[in-house]
Amino acid sequence: MTTIDDSNNDAAVDVQDDNSRCGSHWDDDTTTVDDGGGVREQEREGSDCDDTVESSSVALFAGDEGGLSREQRDCLVYLLKNHYLSHEQKPPLWQVLMDHQPAIRARLNDLYLTLHVDREGQVAYKRQALPDNGGPNFPTLLHDRAYSREQTILLVYLRERLHRQRAADSGQVLVDREDMVDRVVEFKADDDTDLYGAQKRAETAIESLTSMGVLSGSADNDRFTISPVLDSLMPLARLQELLEWLYTESGQTEDHSNTEGPEGTA
């Protein structure tokens, strides 16, 4: 199955303490992000840190030498554990990022991650940093994940729909479950007679995009709101690239009678 790679995934990470006052080195067992969103310090063996170093003014636990406040740490951990941070979903954390962007960006950079902020769309997300001048790849904290074919079809469809409707009005962009399932079925191979299987794969893709925060469901779970984050995560150039892949992979052409291409040019 052909897939499109996506590197902006949930981080299964070890978050390191970069305080250099103790002359300590990177240690994979130093700190970890727990499922509760907090940061816990594990015992370090063989540290050359002086036991007489004064505690940080923002210390939150015994032995804490971190330089960020609780709010800044909460924002950093959220960015590490989630695909993105948006003002729409997390207004307090978004404000923390706006107020302390250099400090949080620096901590992400220490982990070979870059911070991307779309102030107009009020969305921020992380990416894996790449070395300059073609040097060796950095150690990675993000899991590489590939979108399924059905997820890719829906991402393209949702991005097209978001672009068209937001050009007409700035309100919420809604999409019906039935429309998304039908869209996936449209790209079913001609020799694929398993309609039920295609519909089930479409339903699975919808649930996956909902868990990623790209879609948010209504009470009846048959109508969804498309998150504006898709504007930032999938710019028009990327949309055109995925469209071309879909048409090629399915043997269709861009003027397919059931398919609307993107507006504008990449």
pLDDT over 50 (residue 3): no
What CATH number has the domain bearing residue 227? 1.10.10
In a shared domain, residues 194 and 243: yes
Q: Is 255 inside a domain boundary?
A: no
Which of 74-88, 148-162, 228-242 has the lowest average pLDDT? 228-242
Q: Is 185 inside a domain boundary?
A: yes
Please give the structure tokens belonging to residue 206: 């919808």
Q: According to DSSP H, which parts of 169-264 are helical?
A: 177-186, 195-212, 229-233, 236-250
pLDDT over 60 (residue 47): no
Higher pLDDT, 176 or 253: 176
Torsion of CA 213, 218, 223, 228, to 10 degrees: -40
Looking at residue 60, its pLDDT comes to: 93
Q: Is 256 inside a domain boundary?
A: no
Looking at residue 219, its pLDDT comes to: 73
In a shared domain, residues 168 and 214: yes
pLDDT tens column, 73-118 = 999 999 999 888 999 889 999 999 999 999 999 999 999 999 999 8
Which of 84-88, 89-93, 219-223, 238-242 has the lowest average pLDDT? 238-242
In a shared domain, residues 29 and 158: no
In a shared domain, residues 138 and 244: no
> How far, in Å, CA of 25 to CA of 19, rounded?
10
Mean pLDDT of 4-26: 44
Mean pLDDT of 9-14: 46
User: With the C-alpha atoms ordered 208, 210, 214, 215, is the resulting torsion angle positive or negative?
Assistant: positive
pLDDT over 70 (residue 249): yes
Which of 41-55, 57-71, 152-166 has the lowest average pLDDT? 41-55
Looking at residue 250, its pLDDT comes to: 67
Q: Is 206 inside a domain boundary?
A: yes
In a shared domain, residues 9 and 125: yes
In a shared domain, residues 64 and 136: yes
Domain-ending residue, one of 79, 114, 145:
145
Q: Is 82 inside a domain boundary?
A: yes
Q: Is 257 inside a domain boundary?
A: no
Burial of 35 (C-beta count, 10 Å sphere; 0-12/13-18/19+)? exposed
Phi (first) and psi of residue 140, to 5 degrees: -110, 145
Higher pLDDT, 219 or 58: 58
Q: Is 107 inside a domain boundary?
A: yes
Higher pLDDT, 68 or 233: 68
In a shared domain, residues 74 and 36: yes
In a shared domain, residues 107 and 33: yes
In a shared domain, residues 156 and 246: yes
In a shared domain, residues 27 and 96: yes
In a shared domain, residues 94 and 141: yes
> How far, in Å, CA of 172 to CA of 155, rounded?
17
Domain-ending residue, one of 145, 180, 200:
145
pLDDT over 70 (residue 22): no
DSSP track, 23-46: -----TTSEEE-TTS-EEEPP-SS
Q: Is 78 inside a domain boundary?
A: yes
pLDDT band at 253 (very low <50, low <70, confident <90, very high): low
pLDDT over 80 (residue 259): no
pLDDT over 50 (residue 32): no
> How far, in Å, CA of 215 to CA of 212, rounded?
8
Quote the number of domains for the chain: 2
In a shared domain, residues 18 and 138: yes
Q: Which of 12-21, 206-215, 223-232 has maximum average pLDDT? A: 206-215
Domain-ending residue, one of 118, 145, 172:
145
Question: Domain of 90?
Answer: 4-45+56-145
Q: According to DSSP H, which parts of the chain are helical?
A: 70-81, 91-99, 101-110, 149-168, 177-186, 195-212, 229-233, 236-250
Which of 151-160, 166-175, 179-188, 208-217 has the lowest average pLDDT? 166-175
